[in-house]
Amino acid sequence: MSAYSNSPSVSATTADEQTVSDEPPENPTGADSPVNREPSPDDRREAWRLPSVLISVRVMRQRLRDCLRRKTALSHDETEDLLLAASEAANNAVEHAQQPTEPFFDVSSHIDDEQVTVVVQDHGGWQQPRSPSYRGRGLAMMRALVHTTVTTRPHGTTVTMRSRWHRRGAETEEGHPS
């Protein structure tokens, strides 16, 4: 479900089903740019606020990939695992947040010496899926890829994903790679 229930990008097909388009509504943020970015002074944290439309998930993935490649020691596979988990969380933020207090979802990344933390937060109430049983495996997938916690509140769900990296070239006291 999209946060823009009155927008042309969402059309009702039945009383219980809606189709979500990949196209954003016209200027959903009221700003010139559909994405607001907030870097930190120490360059270890980045945050983005994106409109709650499916195309924003692609934008988030591109920006997060660039951030992870520039700022972390994550391997290619670790980066892709974290990106896939974050993309699933962002898709859920767009699709499942109902009656949001804000028509956005927020994404932040924090990088320290040993791990990367990515947080995806929506601003709507959770809706239990009413779709066929072939859906509903996203949370299990996220948990299989990275350490994931989910906090659900009346006005938003927060998904926190953490990925540790293995230091390339680092060795233990026995001389074996760590």
pTM over 0.75: no
From first to last of its 178 residues, the chain has per-residue pLDDT tens of 333 333 333 333 223 333 233 333 343 333 333 456 666 667 789 999 999 999 999 999 999 999 999 999 899 999 999 999 999 999 999 988 777 788 999 999 999 888 999 999 999 877 666 666 666 788 899 999 999 999 988 889 999 999 976 544 443 344 444 4
Domain assignment present for 79: yes
Range of the domain at 72: 34-164
Distance CA 73, CA 112 (A): 10
User: What is the domain count for the chain?
Assistant: 1
Domain assignment present for 9: no
Domain assignment present for 153: yes
* Cα torsion 2, 107, 33, 55: sign: negative
Instruction: Find the CATH number of the domain harbouring 128.
Output: 3.30.565.10
Domain assignment present for 83: yes
**Secondary structure (DSSP) of 63-120:** HHHHHHHHH----HHHHHHHHHHHHHHHHHHHHHEES-SSSEEEEEEEE-SSEEEEEE
